Amino acid sequence: MKKHIYIYLLLIACLCSYTSFLHARETISFNQGWLFKKGPFSSEPAKVVSQWNSKWEEVEIPHTWNAKDMQVKVNSFYEGTGYYKKNYYADKSLQGKRVFLRFEGVGTCTEVYVNGKLVGTHKGAYSAFATEIGTALKYGEDNEILVKTDNTARPDVIPVNHSLFGVYGGMYRPVWLIVTEQSNITVMDCASPGIYITQKNVSHQSADITVKVKLDNGSLKPEFLVLQNTIYTQEGKKVASDDQDIELTPQGTQSYYTTFKLKKPHLWQGRKDPYLYKVVSRLLADGKVIDEVTQPLGVRKYEIIAGKGFYLNGEKYPMYGVTRHQDWWGLGSALKNEQHDFDLATIMDVGATTVRFAHYQQSDYLYSRCDSLGLIIWAEIPFVNRVTGYEAENAQTQLRELIRQSFNHPSIYVWGLHNEVYQPHEYTASLTQALHDLAKTEDPDRYTVSVNGYGHAEHPVNQNADIQGMNRYFGWYEKKVQDIKPWIENMEKEYPWQKLMLTEYGADANIEHQTEYLGDALNWTKPFYPETFQTKTHEYQWSVIAEHPSIIASYLWNTFDFAVPMWGRGGVPARNLKGLVTFDRKIKKDSYFWYKANWSKDPVLYLTQRRNTEREKKVTSVTIYSNIGTPKVYLNGQELNGIRKGYTDVHYVFDEVPLNNGKNTLTAIVQYKGKEYKDEIEWNYTGEKKREADSYVNKSVHAGW
C-alpha cells in the first residue's frame, strides 16, 4: 500500500514538475542593441559582417536611413540595401520552447539570418511578418541576428515606384521576440493574432459572435489540450465563456470555432461611445494556461445605402473624412507611439469621424487607438500609381496580410484595393477583381473599395469593388473650384445605384505664399501655391459635399503635409503641400479651422488669413469661422457692419472693408454660454499691389514646413 502511495506521489510530482515549465507566451521588446550599416554592398551577408565589423552605427528601432535625404531634395535619396545586426544571448531555459521574431514593418524587401542561416524573407514595406528562429539558435550562447533590407523599387513588389510617396528604408517599426510552448495560438498565419472574430445579426437586442482560433502544434506528437474562449466587458466582467477539449495533431495549422450570442450588447457607436469588449483565447494543458492572446471586440454593424449615406448600427452616421500619411519631418516613417498619438489627437480635434489611412497598411497601434477613439477607418494596400504586370502575386499577398493582421479591429469598415492605377486597363481591372474576390474570401463582411482619378463611373478599371472612390481636384488639377457641384449632380443622375465616395480633394498650400487675388483655378505646375487658394477651395467644396448624401463619405487630402521625393512643386522640394497642417506639425493652416468649425463640437472662433499680413488691397474682405454664434468684429476698435453668412452656418463674411494705412488690428468676439471668446490678428497695408508668383520660388518659412 505504501509503495503504491509512493508511486502515486512520485507521478504527481513529475506532472507538477512538467507543468511548472509551461506558461503563457512571452512577448519581449527586441528594439535595443542594434547596429546598422548602410550600403551599397556587393558581398554575401556573412562576409558583410566581418568586412564592416568595426564600422557599424548604433541605432534604436524604429529606424530609417531616409529620415533626412527623402525630405529635402528631389530624387536624391538613398534607395538600396542596409544591414542591421544584433547579438542575442539565448538562455538555456528556452530549449524546448518555440522562438519567433515578429517585425511590424521593414522597408521593403527583407532577409533574416540567425548565425548565418537564412530563417525568413518578406516582400513589402508595410505589413508585419514573423519568422521562427528557435532551431537556428545556440542556447546558452550569444547569437548573431542579421537583417538585410532593401527599399529599391521593384516591378514585382507594390508600390512599384516612389512617385506618390517615398518608401522609407529600414526597420522603421518595432520588433518583438515571441516565446511559446510547442503548441500555440499560431504566430505564423501571416503574422496575424491567430484569432478571427466575426459578428452577425447585430442589433440592440442581441449579436452572434463567432471566434475562430488557429492552433499550431510544433511537436512530433498529438497534444490533448483545452481551448478556452472568453468575452469580457470593458470593465473586466466575464459575460460568456466556452471550453473545448481538443486533440491537436502536428499536421499543419488547425482552426477551431466558438459561437456566442450576446444579449443586449453594448454597441460600439463611433466617437459617441466606442465601447470595447475583449476576447481572450487561452490554450490550456493539464489545467495550466500555456498560451493566451487578447483581441478587441467592438459590436457594431456597418451599412452603406447608395444615394443616402453611411449607417452605423442602423443610424445614419456623418462621415467627416481626412487622410493621413505616416511620415514626419526629420523622422520619416520611424515613429513611436507618441507620434501616432499626436496625429490622432489632431484628427480628433478637427472633428473627423473617419480616416482614410493612405496609401498602405499603417501601424497596428494606430488601428488599435482608432478602435478606442471611435474613428471609423479605411485600410488599404500600396497598389498605387502604375502597374508593371509583375506585381499581382505580391499585391494579393499584401492584401491577405493586411486583412489577417487587422481583422479584429472594429474601426475598420473597408479594405482599399487600388488607388489611381490605370494602363493597361485590362490587366488592372482583372487584378482589382481578383483582389476583391480575395478580400471577400478572407472577410466576407467588410466592404471593398477601389479609387479612380477620373470623374466617370464607366472608366474601364472601375466597378470592380463594392465602393467606387473618386479623387477629384477641381480648380487644382482640372477645371474650376465650382465644377465639383455639376459633377456630383451628374453622378447622382447617371449612377444612382453606385456607392460613391469622394476619396481625395483639396489643393496645395505653401504658408509663405499669400495673396488676395484669387481666381477659380490655379495652375499647379507654377511655383506659386497660396494658402488662400487652398482655403477658398475647401470652403466652397465642403459646402457642396455637405449638401449631397450621394457622397457616402468624403476624404480631404491631406491632414498633414508629407514627403514626395520625386516632386519639386510649390517652392518646396520633395513635398506635397496639401495638408491642413505643416509637415513638422507646428502650424495649422486656415483650412484646418474651417473643418473644425464645421465638424467639431468644441467652440471655434477664428479669423482667417492671419499669415496674409501684407495686404494688397485697401478695400478687402474679412472672413470668420464661428460655431458658437454670430461674431462681433472690430477693425482698429471700430465695430464692422454688414456681416453675412457664407457657405455654411459657421461661415461669416464682411465685404468691402476699408483698411487704414499701416497696421490694422482685427478682433472677433462672441459671448457663448457665459464665456467670452476672442480672436485677434494684424494686417499691414502700405498701398495697392499685386505680387508676382515667381518671387516666391525660393522662399521658405523654415526647413520643416
Contacts of residue 284, defined as CB under 8 A and 6 or more positions apart, other chains included, come to 225, 226, 227, 228, 290
For the chain, the C-alpha Rg in angstroms (whole number) is: 28
Active site residue 614: no
Cβ 627 vs Cβ 603: under 8 Å: yes
CA distance 703 to 9: 74
Asked if residue 69 lies in contact with residue 76, where contact means CB atoms within 8 angstroms, the answer is yes
| From 79, 380, 391, 420, the catalytic residue | 420
Residue whose C-alpha cell is 503641400: 577
Single out the residue of 519, 455, 453, 450 nearest to residue 486, CA to CA.
455
Give the angle 599-601-602 at the CA atoms, nearest 5°: 110
**Cα–Cα dist 532/475, whole Å:** 13
Q: How far apart are CA 421 and CA 450, in angstroms?
A: 9
* Beta partners for residue 277, in sequence order: 297
- The amino acid occupying position 115 is N
Is-contact 573 71, C-beta < 8 A? no
Q: What share of the chain is helix, strand, coil (3-state, %, to 5)?
A: 20, 40, 45
**Cβ atoms of residues 592 and 622 within 8 Å:** no
Q: CA separation (Å) from 511 to 458, 488, 629, 685?
A: 38, 30, 28, 19
What does the alpha-carbon distance between residue 314 and residue 292 come to, in Å, rounded to a whole number? 34
Q: Which cell goes with 605? A: 472662433
Long-range contacts of 118-126 (CB under 8 A, 24+ apart): 123/156, 123/157, 123/394, 123/397, 124/157, 124/158, 124/394, 124/397, 124/398, 124/401, 125/151, 125/167, 125/168, 125/360, 125/382, 126/360, 126/361, 126/362, 126/381, 126/382, 126/398
Alpha-carbon span 206 to 195, nearest angstrom: 22
Q: Which are the catalytic amino acids?
A: 420
